[in-house]
Amino acid sequence: MTDHFDWDRLARYVSGESGASERADIERWAASSETNRAMLDSLKRRWSVAGDGVQWNVDAAWARLAPQLKGVAAEPGVVDIRSREVPRSPWTRITRLVPLAAAAVLLLAVAVQMFSTRTETPGGPETLTASAMRTGAGEQRTFELADGSTVVLGAASTLRVAEGFGTSTREVHLEGQAFLRVVHDSTRPFVVNAAGTRTIDLGTAFEVRAYPNEVVRVAVTEGMVEVRRDSGISGDSAVLQPGDVAEVPTTGEIVKRQQNVERLLGWTRGQLVFEDTPLGDAARDLERWYDVEVRFDDPALRTLRWNAEIRIGESLKTVLELLETTHGLRAEQSGNTVTIRRGQKVNPTATPAASRNRVEAGA
């Protein structure tokens, strides 16, 4: 296999039809790069979760799919495909017992989805991006871009690569959180577009955090970056050096200061580090990493400060027990909803102290 995807061989592999030699060949190919491994893992997940056991009409499926393949490039783009992010349709209701031809159609359908991610340009027509990378709640993935730069993508995040990346331009568009280690090229600056800001590489390793409805944050560990608003207004920019962190609100000046950048980047090392963090801000991170909704029965609880270090992958139950030790709180979970309340949790099986005293006194 090469850098291009051999869909027939991948179809045989995920459907269990490959021989030993072919399986070994595909696994060597997957091990050769993070992108290849991510692609194969995504296809296996897609295959394993498919299925209501309906009949699969391969000819009809191909007839629907073939027109979409016109002009589709054969280079990998979206490398993480989660079935829960895609509306259920006949494409997703395939079982492990489907004929191999159906498996090939499934992979081709996935390819179209990957290579033709659609976005909308404000005030303009819908356009096709060259590629996109996504993570779901609780996911963290590492990607290598065409120019050799690497991206660690945080939970519930999307990074889109602009058309012509690596040749005429090096621009990406981020929603969420990413740590980038950029290969510097003075003739083609690396630019991260995020929530109305542009972060421009000046030879750097840096993080950009730009979740919806939050202040954009840029933190630098090596080299320098320039961060500016798209407005182009004088004073709407700042040059950051190692240890500098900039916060870019929707309006007002860009705030630049020195911070413990290693603490902010704990997520890249498998830790969520909260240091004097407002509980409302910490709750948003817990929502992204644990795929839950956190509510507060008293809005004032959001302003309480929390200090904690949590290993990513720790059970939600353990995290909530840790949270309950702060400020005498209790956390109640119902499905995917966690409600934070004042007051410590009551153990319903415990005998009240007053009752014990009465029993002992009458003994």
Q: What is the 3-state secondary structure (H, E, C) of 259-296?
A: CCHHHHCHHHHCEEEEEEEEHHHHHHHHHHHHCCEEEE
User: What are the tens digits of pLDDT across the range 290-332?
Assistant: 999 999 999 999 999 999 999 988 899 999 999 998 888 999 9
What are phi and psi for residue 5, nearest 5 degrees? Answer: -95, 125
Give the domain-ending residue among 262, 297, 331.
262
CA distances to 61, 91, 105, 113 from 64, in Å: 5, 11, 10, 13
Residues 188 and 102 in one domain: no
Residues 170 and 244 in one domain: yes
What lies within 8 Å, CB to CB, of 44 at 6+ separation is: 14
Calpha distance 200→228 (Å, rounded):
8
What spatial distance separates the first Cα and last Cα of the chain, rounded to whole Å?
Answer: 82
User: What are the tens digits of pLDDT across the range 87-145?
Assistant: 333 333 434 444 455 555 555 555 444 443 333 434 432 233 447 888 999 899 998 88
Q: Give the model's pLDDT for residue 347.
A: 56
Residues 162 and 211 in one domain: yes
Calpha distance 175→165 (Å, rounded):
18
Calpha distance 280→278 (Å, rounded):
5
Question: How many structural domains does the chain have?
Answer: 3
Residues 233 and 274 in one domain: no
Mean residue pLDDT of the chain comes to 74
Structure tokens at 35: 């992108």
**Residue recorded with tokens 């200090």:** 307
Residues 187 and 281 in one domain: no
Can you point out the beta strands (E) in 182-254?
Answer: 191-194, 197-201, 205-210, 216-222, 225-229, 237-240, 244-248
For residue 328, is it within any domain? Answer: yes
User: What are the tens digits of pLDDT across the range 202-246?
Assistant: 878 999 999 998 999 999 999 999 998 876 555 578 889 899 999
Q: Give the model's pLDDT for residue 220.
A: 94
Give the domain-ending residue among 77, 94, 116.
116
Q: Give the model's pLDDT for residue 304.
A: 93
Calpha distance 180→94 (Å, rounded):
37
**Mean pLDDT throughout 196-202?**
90
Give the domain-ending residue among 262, 293, 312.
262
Calpha distance 254→257 (Å, rounded):
10
Residues 162 and 87 in one domain: no
For residue 142, is it within any domain? Answer: yes
Calpha distance 275→215 (Å, rounded):
18
CATH, residue 314: 3.55.50.30
Length, in residues, of the chain: 363
User: What are the tens digits of pLDDT across the range 11-42?
Assistant: 778 777 777 777 888 888 888 776 777 777 76
257 DSSP assignment: E
More confident residue, 339 or 88: 339
**In this structure, how many other beta carbons lie within 10 angstroms of the beta carbon of residue 74?**
12
Structure tokens at 324: 């309950």
Residues 56 and 155 in one domain: no
CA distances to 68, 91, 100, 272 from 94, in Å: 20, 7, 11, 38
Domain range holding 73?
1-116
SS3 244: strand
For residue 355, is it within any domain? Answer: no
Q: Give the model's pLDDT for residue 253.
A: 73
CATH, residue 226: 2.60.120.1440
